[in-house]
């Protein structure tokens, strides 16, 4: 059965429009409750959220849906996505929910599910929940309706755990750190953790109003933090996204390091200390060819997966690997967490900064990336523009033009009605020509 509600990272859409309505959130929660509550024993769900105004609406609707099927609900309040994965497992919950559209603007929202071990659900589980949504949902008897409890110390539990990613016996004293929280879920946690570890903290994006999440700040707009780093003479900048599962780093010169550079640094350092399982990094098809070549030169392996940190984690679990992530800034370190964690990845970088005594500009430039170009083309609901014969012809011609000099990746977004045309090539001029020709063909077919 093909999934209709779930995309690459849960259910996502425009708030108060299908599928992100209160009615659908209630029904989806009831279906998930029925899926996980397989007997009459006590069953639990933890629910976290980001700072969007619509998150309140979705939270209350899902609370009702879960309680109606007999699940006891524990509300975490605004917490980073990795905190939900952590607390699902540590609180012995059957399922965890994060209400967030991650890096998207405030007018979108989403629902991410975690299983009892703190990992995102498999495709099979999502399909089975969709089947329940489409059918009759068996509700609990009046005496079995679930209880609802608000957990006051959820954020504190996560903050103490996050510090475990920073080397013991070391502190950040003497370091000036800009942290941009994107007016999102980590607006309290990230500045406090960095300050408690000894840093001088310059916080940005810490005044959420329900509408300014990711607006001109955070990992999708690192220029704001870059300007603050340079203006304040900071040593480094950490840019998180709306639910804090992504990170971008800024060196002291204001230059941005993406997830590929961060993964390259951690992989190299973990390998030298014997910590990198099987000397392998798991990344997606979006990661730069320069990273792959650099790892090969270091005697390391890069395993590619489909786009989405969930598929990275699945490959990590299957192969016994402990480091993976995405160019977009999801960094998964399974020795610590079950999903991407921007703050903990940032702490790994800060630990390397303290140990090495090198400036961020030297640490954050691990490899020379191949020129990469990405075009996003919006399309209306209808025929798949990628299957159009003119688009297919343009793709075939582009691949022939690249030969062994580069690669193409054309795919539909799993979270938005976009076709993403990505190319990499040693020849920057050829790269621009090929990507533009394919993008023009997609626009004509959209």
Kindly provide the residue ranges of all beta strands, DSSP E only, lying in 359-443, ordered along the sequence.
372-378, 406-412, 418-425
User: pLDDT value at position 41?
Assistant: 83
* Window from 5-14, 72-81, 201-210, 334-343 with minimum mean pLDDT: 5-14
- Per residue in 372-408, pLDDT (tens digit) is 999 999 988 778 899 999 999 999 999 999 998 899 9
pLDDT at 77: 97
| Chain region(s) in the chain for CATH 3.40.120.10 | 11-153, 163-256, 259-363
Q: What was the pLDDT predicted at 179?
A: 98
| Residue 296 pLDDT > 90 | yes
Model confidence pLDDT, tens digit, residues 414-446: 767 899 999 999 899 999 999 999 999 999 998
CATH number of 163-256: 3.40.120.10
- Return the pLDDT at 183: 98
Burial degree of 155 (CB within 10 A; 0-12, 13-18, 19+): buried
Strands of the 331-333 sheet, one edge to the other: 301-305, 280-284, 323-325, 331-333
Q: Cα separation of 258 and 326, whole Å?
A: 9
Give the model's confidence band at 1: pLDDT under 50 very low, under 70 low, under 90 confident, else very high.
Answer: low
Distance between alpha carbon 299 and the CA centroid of its chain, in Å?
28
Residue 428: which residues within 8 A CB-CB, separation 6 or more? Answer: 371
Give 384 or 73, the one with higher predicted confidence.
Answer: 73
Residue with token string 């500009």: 361
Per-residue pLDDT averaged across 230-250, rounded?
98
In order, the DSSP letters of 361-374 are HHHS--S-PPPEEE
Query: Residue 417: its pLDDT value, please?
Result: 84
Reply yes or no on whether the pLDDT at 142 is more than 80: yes
Across 235-244, 305-314, 379-388, which has the greatest mean pLDDT? 235-244
In 3D space, the residue among 59, 54, 55 whose CA is nearest the CA of residue 73 turns out to be 59
Percent of the chain predicted with pLDDT > 70: 99
Q: What is the pLDDT of residue 153?
A: 95
The CA angle 244-250-256, to the nearest 5 degrees, is: 95
Residues of the chain with CATH 3.30.310.50: 372-445
The answer to whether 27 touches 64, Cβ cutoff 8 Å, is: no
Domain spanning 372-445, CATH architecture: 2-Layer Sandwich (3.30)
Q: What percent of the chain has pLDDT over 90?
A: 91
pLDDT digits (tens, 9 = 90+) for 86-139: 999 999 999 999 999 999 999 999 999 999 999 999 999 999 999 999 999 999
Residue 174 Rama label (left phi>0; alpha psi -120 to 50; beta):
left
Tokens of 130: 């969709």
Assigned CATH topology for domain 11-153: Alpha-D-Glucose-1,6-Bisphosphate; Chain A, domain 3 (3.40.120)
**Residue 2: predicted pLDDT:** 61
pLDDT of residue 234: 98
SS3 at position 53: coil
| pLDDT score at 295 | 97
Hey, what are 125's tokens? Answer: 């589980």
| Confidence band for 3, pLDDT divided at 50, 70 and 90 | confident
Q: Which is catalytic among the residues 68, 102, 287, 334?
A: 102
Q: State the average pLDDT over residues 139-152.
A: 96
Average pLDDT, the chain: 95
The predicted model gives 344-369 an average pLDDT of: 95
Q: Catalytic: 102?
A: yes
- Per-residue pLDDT band at 68 (split at 50, 70, 90): very high
Is the pLDDT at 169 greater than 80? The verdict is no
Burial class (CB in 10 A: 0-12, 13-18, 19+), 141: exposed
Give the separation between CA 402 and CA 397, rounded to whole angstroms. Answer: 9
| 354-380 mean pLDDT | 93
For 259-363, give the CATH class: alpha beta
- Residue 38 has a pLDDT of 80
């Amino acid at each position: 059965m093909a999934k209709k509600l779930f995309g690459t990272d849960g259910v996502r859409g425009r708030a108060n429009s299908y599928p992100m309505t209160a009615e659908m959130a209630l029904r989806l929660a009831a279906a998930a409750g029925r899926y996980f509550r397989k007997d009459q024993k006590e069953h639990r769900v933890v629910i976290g959220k980001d700072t969007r105004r619509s998150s309140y609406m979705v939270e209350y609707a899902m609370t009702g849906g879960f309680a109606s099927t007999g699940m006891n609900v524990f509300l975490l309040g605004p917490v980073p996505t990795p905190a939900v994965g952590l607390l699902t497992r540590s609180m012995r919950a059957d399922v965890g929910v994060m209400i967030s559209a991650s890096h998207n603007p405030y007018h979108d929202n989403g629902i991410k599910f975690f299983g009892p071990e703190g990992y995102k659900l498999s495709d099979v589980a999502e399909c089975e929940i969709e089947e329940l949504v489409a059918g009759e949902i068996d509700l609990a008897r009046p005496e079995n309706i679930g209880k609802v409890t608000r957990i006051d110390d959820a954020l504190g539990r996560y903050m103490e755990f996050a510090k475990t990613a920073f080397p013991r016996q070391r502190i950040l004293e003497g370091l000036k750190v800009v942290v941009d929280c994107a007016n999102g879920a980590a607006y309290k946690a990230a500045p406090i953790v960095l300050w408690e570890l000894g840093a001088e903290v310059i916080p940005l994006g810490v005044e959420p109003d329900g509408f300014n999440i990711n607006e001109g700040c955070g990992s999708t707009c690192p220029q704001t933090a870059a300007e603050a780093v340079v203006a304040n003479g900071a040593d480094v900048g950490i840019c998180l996204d709306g639910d804090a599962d992504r990170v971008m780093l800024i060196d002291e010169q204001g230059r941005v390091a993406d997830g590929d550079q961060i993964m390259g640094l951690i992989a190299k350092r973990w390998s030298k200390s014997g910590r990198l399982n099987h000397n392998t990094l798991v990344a997606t098809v979006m990661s730069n060819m320069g990273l792959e070549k650099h790892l090969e030169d270091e005697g390391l392996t890069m395993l590619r997966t489909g786009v989405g940190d969930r598929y990275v984690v699945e490959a990590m679990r299957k192969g016994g690997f402990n480091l993976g992530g995405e160019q977009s800034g999801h960094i998964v370190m399974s020795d610590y967490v079950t999903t991407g964690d921007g703050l903990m990845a940032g702490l790994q970088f800060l630990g390397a900064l303290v140990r090495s005594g090198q400036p961020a500009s030297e640490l954050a430039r691990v490899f020379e990336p191949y020129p990469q170009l990405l075009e996003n083309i919006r399309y209306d609901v209808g025929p798949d523009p990628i299957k159009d014969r003119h688009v297919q012809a343009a793709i075939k011609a582009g691949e022939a033009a690249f030969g062994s000099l580069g690669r193409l990746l054309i795919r539909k977004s799993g979270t938005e009605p976009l076709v993403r045309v990505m190319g990499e090539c040693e020849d920057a001029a050829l790269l621009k020509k090929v990507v533009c020709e394919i993008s023009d063909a997609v626009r004509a077919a959209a």
